[in-house]
Chain A
Amino acid sequence: MSQLKIMLKVGVAAAAIVFAAGTQAADKGAKRPVYTTPPGITLQALGRGQGWDLGKETASVVFRDEVAYTDARGMTMYTYKLDAPGKSNCTADCTEKFKPVAPIAGSVAFGDWSIITRADGAKQWAVQGRPLYTYTEDVDPGSLAGNSAARFGAKRMDGSGKMVGGGIRGSGGRAGGKDKPMPENWQPALMYPAGEKFGAVPNGVQIEEILESSALGLVDHRRHTLYVFDGAAKDEKKLTSAGWTPLAAPAIGFPIGDFTIIARDDGTSQWAYKGQGLYSYDEDQKFGDSYGVGADTRWKVAAVQKHFLPDGVKLQPTLNQGYTWATEAGMTLYKRDGHIYQSGGGHSLHRGQPHRPAVGRDIGTKSRCGDACDQWKPFLAPANAQPQGYWTVYTRDDGQKQWAYMGYALYTFAGDKKPGDMLGHDTYNMELSFDAKKIVDVGTPMDGVATLVWAIAYP
């Protein structure tokens, strides 16, 4: 920072804010990122963000309005307004409906996450001091206050792999149904929107989930990703001429929380986060883009929190699809998805086919690829792998564990010969029955002719 004089400086971060460079107590000194969730705690989009309704409203875009902290099965977690910080007041009859979320063996508190001891001696997870519970009325991941597509007639797989609900799928089954109200004094434990839990931010700056970078990060007034530079100050100055725009700060301004104002050599002022100047990248053209990450490895998304990433997985840039998940060796990871007809969407375009975790769970590890299955190798997880963040673990028929991202089991493709190849992308298998007496079942509801597709797995 020798050439970027710090004009105003504030104190340390609020306890709620953890940064990607931090360490996690559970790792016993190992340098690892602090993630949004501990092992055994997952993230699920609520409601239609699960993709349960294949109708027009979700055909092109699956709205991820709310993302909840969820247990290992993906069931929504709640907090109780009558609890005291670090102490559960939901006991006796209260626990008939609301079950305390117990940590898995070996869990360790870190960041926002703490482990409290209940009156009966049992352990319970808490986030920001608020004890966490699941609700027995919920039926599947994405349920909120007992409301679920499954309850309205859709046949869906719950978090434990059991089919629930029935009848016709989608909102068509809603006729005669009515949303249940949220039980009094209870609220979902939301990871996103981030709200005020990360402290105050300057005008125009927001905290958004930037899936392309698998993080909760800072964005500017246009909702464009903001970056920090992790290299030498002389390099930062040089690189700013190559597509990087400093986030302008008022000439007369005041620090806010972790945000300070630094004076630039040209006399302008720039916002900094935890002492590092904030920039946008000119190649980013819309919300979610984070192409600056790959422009130079020293540029990082200004992340408030990172989502969990298993060992052996990385984000990999592509020519026209943004970033995909890939193995450490650079081999593209794929998901098996149900085809969805999407007028106005675009399967071949970046993020053209939205994540629909409910569909991913429907299909599970049954990729139904027939003779081609020897081309698709499951991306295996260690025997002791735990679900965490958006990553879950399926058990295959042979007992092996397989990583899944947002509900979709992941695979590599034997046709890919070198890192970066994605020759299995957009491989469709249509299951059209020519037999008047044979029922085709691809494991997930279909609008038109039943079709499964192999598609690149992106964050």
Chain B
Amino acid sequence: MFRWALGAGVAGASLLGQAAAAHALESRSYVVSYFSQQFNSRDGDCPGGVNPDDQAGQYAVILQGLGYKPDEVKSMMSEWAKGGDGEERINAIVNARAVINGQNVNAYTHPEATKDPGLKFVTSKVGYGFNLDGKDGEVSFTDPQTGEKGVDNMLSRAIGCNQNFRGSWDAPSAYGEWIWVQLKDSQPAWLITITGEDIDKDGPVTVRLTRALEYLKSNLDGSPRHFMTYRVDPDPRSHNEFKAEIKDGELKVTEHKPLSLLWNALSSPVLNLKNTHLRLKMLKGDTLDGLVGGYQPWTEIYFAFSHNGIVGDRPGLYYAMKKAADADPDPKTGMNMSISTAYRITAVPAFVQETPHLRYQSAEVK
């Protein structure tokens, strides 16, 4: 039984051995410095090439499908490219292209009222992630880092043939890079705190994932600043604690409970994972680098995609994820509502205050 000794003030990431009644425990805290879906794109893993992704190209195809003649499409896309009212007008036509009972409706709310473009799936057998179901099937991957077989990451298989999701461990996808730059400065940061008797040695630890009240603090060049102070948001919707094990400098959670972290409506309002798996290499300089994976409601992923043209054909992604979903069948329809996935996660050392106090006690406006 340990006590979070951080409550009374600010605790150091690596400087404190936290005293408890029976055991001397130490805690190290980190702030997440990158988080996005992990892909392992390779030449030839999309038969016949990747899906068309250019937004203008997509729109041109859609407008043709709506019955506009080629010269009309050319004129409309020229108007779209100029931005302003013209762009808004074309966007409105494309957005409302779904038709139900003769009425034009929002295609992203009603993807079933649009045609499935049949996006290609990744055919590769090598991909990052975790074996979530203990099985090794036809659509499973082998993880290139761990060699683990039966890796479940159907999200990367479903969307990995779209140009902006093409990426690798060393070269993140364009979407991943773009969304992280957006997210890091517009959402409270996520925190990781590892607690154990001696974190430098192999042995059991506890890992706590929470959300801060502050956003990630960065250097002038945009890189994450080390050893900054963050306060833990008392909102219990972002409080998670897992038993874990450190072996050979790598932390792995040993209990695979659900994970819930309030996120950002730019990606998904909440990161919800079931059967959570986490592995983090503890690198020199007290940084962390690894993967977190599990089954995630695919509609929550679609939420972000539905708003953002850079992802490619949005209803197409809806159909792709719906087909690839591999967990949580709906009791009534049988449709799988969750999809296996893996996210790259890195973190830098930070100070964490567990129980923030309100600095401003009252407001009188009357």
Residues in chain A within 8 A of chain B (CB atoms): 33, 53, 55, 168-175, 213-215, 283, 291, 293-295, 297, 300, 306, 309, 314-320, 323, 339, 341-349, 352, 420, 422-423, 425-428, 430-440, 446-451, 453
Q: Is B95 close to A, CB under 8 A? A: yes
Q: Is B323 close to A, CB under 8 A? A: no
Are A309 and B366 CB-contacts (below 8 A) given A341-B307, A344-B182, A439-B101? yes
**A319 & B185 in contact (Cβ 8 Å cutoff):** no
**B365 & A306 in contact (Cβ 8 Å cutoff):** yes
Chain B 90-110 near chain A by CB (<8 Å), digits 1 or 0:
111101100011010110111
Please give, as numbers and ranges, the residues of chain B lying within 8 Å of A213 by CB-CB distance.
365
**A346 & B363 in contact (Cβ 8 Å cutoff):** no
> CA separation between A439 and B362, bound complex, in Å?
46
**B269 & A439 in contact (Cβ 8 Å cutoff):** no
**B100 & A294 in contact (Cβ 8 Å cutoff):** no
Are A449 and B188 CB-contacts (below 8 A) given A319-B356, A346-B264, A428-B265? no
Please give, as numbers and ranges, the residues of chain A lying within 8 Å of B253 by CB-CB distance.
none
| Given A342-B266, A345-B266, A425-B235, 7 additional A-B pairs, CB 8 A | A171-B84, A173-B89, A345-B186, A346-B264, A347-B269, A430-B303, A453-B265
**A426 & B187 in contact (Cβ 8 Å cutoff):** no
Chain B 137-148 near chain A by CB (<8 Å), digits 1 or 0:
000000000000
Q: Is B3 close to A, CB under 8 A? A: no
**B363 & A352 in contact (Cβ 8 Å cutoff):** no
Chain B, 323-366, CB within 8 A of any chain A CB: 333, 335, 356, 358-366
Please give, as numbers and ranges, the residues of chain B lying within 8 Å of A317 by CB-CB distance.
358-363
**A434 & B112 in contact (Cβ 8 Å cutoff):** yes
Are A314 and B366 CB-contacts (below 8 A) given A171-B85, A346-B185, A449-B306? yes
Q: Which of A172, A317, A428 has the most CB of B within 10 A?
A: A172
A163 to chain B, nearest CB (A): 16
**A319 & B233 in contact (Cβ 8 Å cutoff):** yes
> CA separation between A315 and B360, bound complex, in Å?
12
Please give, as numbers and ranges, the residues of chain B lying within 8 Å of A423 by CB-CB distance.
235-237
Please give, as numbers and ranges, the residues of chain B lying within 8 Å of A341 by CB-CB distance.
265-266, 307-308
**B364 & A297 in contact (Cβ 8 Å cutoff):** yes
**B363 & A294 in contact (Cβ 8 Å cutoff):** yes
Q: Is B50 close to A, CB under 8 A? A: no
Q: Which of B109, B110, B231, B300 has the most CB of A within 10 A?
A: B109
Are A319 and B231 CB-contacts (below 8 A) given A348-B262, A348-B264? yes
Are A297 and B365 CB-contacts (below 8 A) given A169-B92, A172-B88, A436-B100? no
Are A432 and B101 CB-contacts (below 8 A) given A175-B85, A317-B361, A423-B237? no
**Which of B307, B333, B365 is the one whose CB lies under 8 Å from A309?**
B365
> CA separation between A309 and B364, bound complex, in Å?
12
> CA separation between A427 and B270, bound complex, in Å?
9
**Which of B93, B231, B269 is the one whose CB lies under 8 Å from A428?**
B269
**A294 & B362 in contact (Cβ 8 Å cutoff):** yes
Q: Which of A175, A318, A432, A438 has the most CB of B within 10 A?
A: A432
A307 to chain B, nearest CB (A): 9
**A449 & B307 in contact (Cβ 8 Å cutoff):** yes
**Which of A33, A309, A433 is the one whose CB lies under 8 Å from B110?**
A433
**B110 & A439 in contact (Cβ 8 Å cutoff):** yes
Please give, as numbers and ranges, the residues of chain A lying within 8 Å of B237 by CB-CB distance.
423
**A448 & B85 in contact (Cβ 8 Å cutoff):** no
**B106 & A215 in contact (Cβ 8 Å cutoff):** no
Are A293 and B356 CB-contacts (below 8 A) given A168-B96, A341-B265, A345-B186? no
Q: Is B198 close to A, CB under 8 A? A: no
B15 to chain A, nearest CB (A): 25
**B303 & A293 in contact (Cβ 8 Å cutoff):** no
Nearest chain B residue, comparing its CB with the CB of A311: B366
A372 to chain B, nearest CB (A): 15
Q: Is B227 close to A, CB under 8 A? A: no
**A448 & B88 in contact (Cβ 8 Å cutoff):** no
Q: Is B299 close to A, CB under 8 A? A: yes
Please give, as numbers and ranges, the residues of chain B lying within 8 Å of A349 by CB-CB distance.
186-188, 215
Q: Is B46 close to A, CB under 8 A? A: no
Please give, as numbers and ranges, the residues of chain A lying within 8 Å of B335 by CB-CB distance.
434
Are A293 and B363 CB-contacts (below 8 A) given A447-B95, A453-B265? yes
Residues in chain B within 8 A of chain A (CB atoms): 84-86, 88-93, 95-96, 100-101, 103, 105-106, 108-113, 182, 185-188, 213-215, 231, 233-237, 262, 264-266, 269-270, 299-300, 302-303, 306-308, 314, 333, 335, 356, 358-366
Are A171 and B110 CB-contacts (below 8 A) given A294-B361, A342-B266, A449-B306? no
> CA separation between A319 and B300, bound complex, in Å?
28
**A448 & B365 in contact (Cβ 8 Å cutoff):** no
21 contacts between A and B (CB under 8 A): A215-B365, A291-B359, A293-B360, A293-B365, A314-B363, A315-B363, A317-B361, A317-B363, A341-B266, A345-B186, A348-B186, A423-B237, A425-B235, A430-B300, A431-B109, A432-B299, A439-B100, A439-B103, A440-B109, A448-B306, A450-B109
> CA separation between A295 and B361, bound complex, in Å?
7
Please give, as numbers and ranges, the residues of chain A lying within 8 Å of B266 by CB-CB distance.
341-343, 345, 347
Please give, as numbers and ranges, the residues of chain A lying within 8 Å of B361 by CB-CB distance.
294, 317
**A319 & B110 in contact (Cβ 8 Å cutoff):** no
Please give, as numbers and ranges, the residues of chain B lying within 8 Å of A352 by CB-CB distance.
186
Nearest chain A residue, comparing its CB with the CB of B88: A172
Please give, as numbers and ranges, the residues of chain A lying within 8 Å of B213 by CB-CB distance.
319-320
Nearest chain B residue, comparing its CB with the CB of A294: B360
A417 to chain B, nearest CB (A): 11
**B307 & A314 in contact (Cβ 8 Å cutoff):** no
> CA separation between A451 and B264, bound complex, in Å?
14
Are A170 and B186 CB-contacts (below 8 A) given A214-B365, A449-B108? no
> CA separation between A158 and B115, bound complex, in Å?
36
**A450 & B358 in contact (Cβ 8 Å cutoff):** no
Are A440 and B110 CB-contacts (below 8 A) given A314-B366, A341-B266, A349-B215? yes
B19 to chain A, nearest CB (A): 27
Please give, as numbers and ranges, the residues of chain B lying within 8 Å of A319 by CB-CB distance.
213, 231, 233-234, 356, 358
**Which of A174, A295, A449 is the one whose CB lies under 8 Å from B109?**
A449
> CA separation between A423 and B333, bound complex, in Å?
32
> CA separation between A438 and B101, bound complex, in Å?
9
B321 to chain A, nearest CB (A): 12
B91 to chain A, nearest CB (A): 7
A147 to chain B, nearest CB (A): 15
**A323 & B363 in contact (Cβ 8 Å cutoff):** yes
**A172 & B306 in contact (Cβ 8 Å cutoff):** no
A319 to chain B, nearest CB (A): 5
**B265 & A433 in contact (Cβ 8 Å cutoff):** no
Please give, as numbers and ranges, the residues of chain A lying within 8 Å of B264 by CB-CB distance.
346-348
Nearest chain B residue, comparing its CB with the CB of A347: B265
**Which of B95, B100, B262, B364 is the one whose CB lies under 8 Å from A426?**
B262
Please give, as numbers and ranges, the residues of chain A lying within 8 Å of B302 by CB-CB distance.
432, 449
Please give, as numbers and ranges, the residues of chain A lying within 8 Å of B366 by CB-CB distance.
33, 309, 314
**A295 & B360 in contact (Cβ 8 Å cutoff):** yes
Nearest chain B residue, comparing its CB with the CB of A428: B269
A160 to chain B, nearest CB (A): 26
> CA separation between A283 and B359, bound complex, in Å?
10
Are A320 and B91 CB-contacts (below 8 A) given A423-B237, A437-B101? no
> CA separation between A352 and B90, bound complex, in Å?
28
Nearest chain B residue, comparing its CB with the CB of A168: B92
